[in-house]
Amino acid sequence: MLSKMFRKTPLAWRQLMKEKTRVAVAVAGITFADMLMFIQFGFESALFDAAIQPHRNLQADLVLINPQFQTLFSVKSFSRERLYQTLGYEGVQSVSGLYIGTGQWRNPETRQDRAILVWGIDPATSAFKFPEVQKNQDLIKPLNQVLFDQAGRPEYGAVGENFQKNSQFQTELNNISIDVKGVFSNGASFAADGNVITSDSTFLRLFPERKPDRIEVGLITLKSGADAEKVRSQLAAGLPNDVIVLTPKGFAQTEKEYWANGTGIGFIFGLGVGVGFIVGIVIVYQILYSDVSEHLPEYATLKAMGYSDRYLLLTLLQEALLLACLGYLPAYILSIGLYQVTFAATMLPIAMKLDRAITVFILTIIMCSLSGAIAMRKLRSADPADVF
């Protein structure tokens, strides 16, 4: 259908190109509307990707958490005993506990403290999939040794650079002197600007008010060949209701739902997309309406010559689709550049994705088609009797 339409577009194309200034204004307006949608979709996606990055990298087949757990920056603990109880179920091979807390990292250059997410793990077991963590986690067995997230905010200091040069870095965490023994890359998020991984012993020293028998996340590794969903169902049915059992994907979904539905952020991004969509409709409608109004006698003449309303309406629709394509291309290119600038400024994992590019293009087509549909009412008023 579209291919046939575009093979018959000389009239639509020539009408557009006759008023080049007007077309340039229309294309600029559509580009602005598309960029607004790209930015809103990009920030929302970056928010979710950054928030669930640690969840994706947990080395576990199943995860045990408190039912009230919503997000990493406001964690809820549960008894370590529940984690050990899972060892009595068929298919469970090993378990490991995670402590999570928010500490104060001191930049040794500025002497300013900044909140950072601290993960306490058992160095004898594999808790994360990060290759750098698995390679160096033996180095954090002694007290006051940590692994630092070099993809975090630069306000923590040039930790990664200094460590690569000198193979060491010293600072303070919660007013306790610590040594950086390795770096890994997770990245900043809306919940945390950076991350630190340390041993469970060091974690309890950094947070003396915490109880050793209360953990935030339980990691469950299953035996080879075990059905994860079957074991999860058995654990969910057998364990008390003060814990819930999730897959790592389900755990990540819990965090994602918090940011999407538990805060106003999801609504704000959706509103931004809606505003961009409406702005585009208004701009394209104004251009098409003005075009039809100026050429109403010509349209009436075409009707008198035997051209049907359907042909003229398709011509107007072609103009709308041409404007959609002309406005989308620069918006796509400019948005890629804006994504790179945003990443450099915020360290959020924002980049162009194929599904987002397709979504915005479809929305642009719909946006311009709706504008054309509204402008068609004016075109129908073209009466040959007004000409003769």
Q: Identify whether residues 112 and 236 lie together within a single domain.
A: yes
- Tokens representing 31? 């580009």
Q: Identify whether residues 184 and 219 lie together within a single domain.
A: yes
pLDDT band at 335 (very low <50, low <70, confident <90, very high): very high
pLDDT band at 1 (very low <50, low <70, confident <90, very high): very low
* Total residues belonging to the chain: 388
Q: Is residue 92 part of a domain?
A: yes
**Domain end (from 214, 246, 278):** 246
Please give the pLDDT value at position 351: 86
Among residues 59, 79, 47, 66, the alpha carbon closest in space to that of 119 is found at 59
**Domain end (from 195, 211, 246):** 246
Number of domains in the chain: 2
**Domain end (from 212, 246, 280):** 246
Q: Identify whether residues 138 and 207 lie together within a single domain.
A: yes
Mean pLDDT computed over every residue of the chain: 85
- Of 58-67, 245-254, 309-318, the range with the lowest mean pLDDT is 309-318
Q: Is residue 197 part of a domain?
A: yes
Q: Is residue 57 part of a domain?
A: no
- Tokens representing 210? 């915490």
Q: Identify whether residues 226 and 354 lie together within a single domain.
A: no
Q: Is the pLDDT of residue 258 over 60?
A: yes
Q: Identify whether residues 242 and 342 lie together within a single domain.
A: no
Q: What's the chain's Rg over C-alpha atoms?
A: 29
Q: Is residue 259 part of a domain?
A: no
Q: Is the pLDDT of residue 6 over 60?
A: no
Q: Identify whether residues 84 and 217 lie together within a single domain.
A: yes
**Which runs of consecutive H residues, i.e. helices, occur in 104-170?**
131-136, 159-166
Cα 26 off chain centre by? 30
| Domain hosting residue 19, numbered range | 2-51+264-386
Q: Identify whether residues 143 and 40 lie together within a single domain.
A: no
Q: Is residue 254 part of a domain?
A: no
Q: Identify whether residues 228 and 352 lie together within a single domain.
A: no
Tell me the CA end-to-end span of the chain in Å, nearest whole number: 35
Distance between CA 338 and CA 272 in Å, rounded? 16
- Of 74-88, 108-122, 187-201, 227-241, the range with the lowest mean pLDDT is 187-201
Q: Is residue 173 part of a domain?
A: yes
Q: Identify whether residues 227 and 357 lie together within a single domain.
A: no
The mean pLDDT of 246-256, rounded to a whole number, is 91
The mean pLDDT of 350-378, rounded to a whole number, is 84
Most confident of 204-208, 285-289, 336-340: 204-208
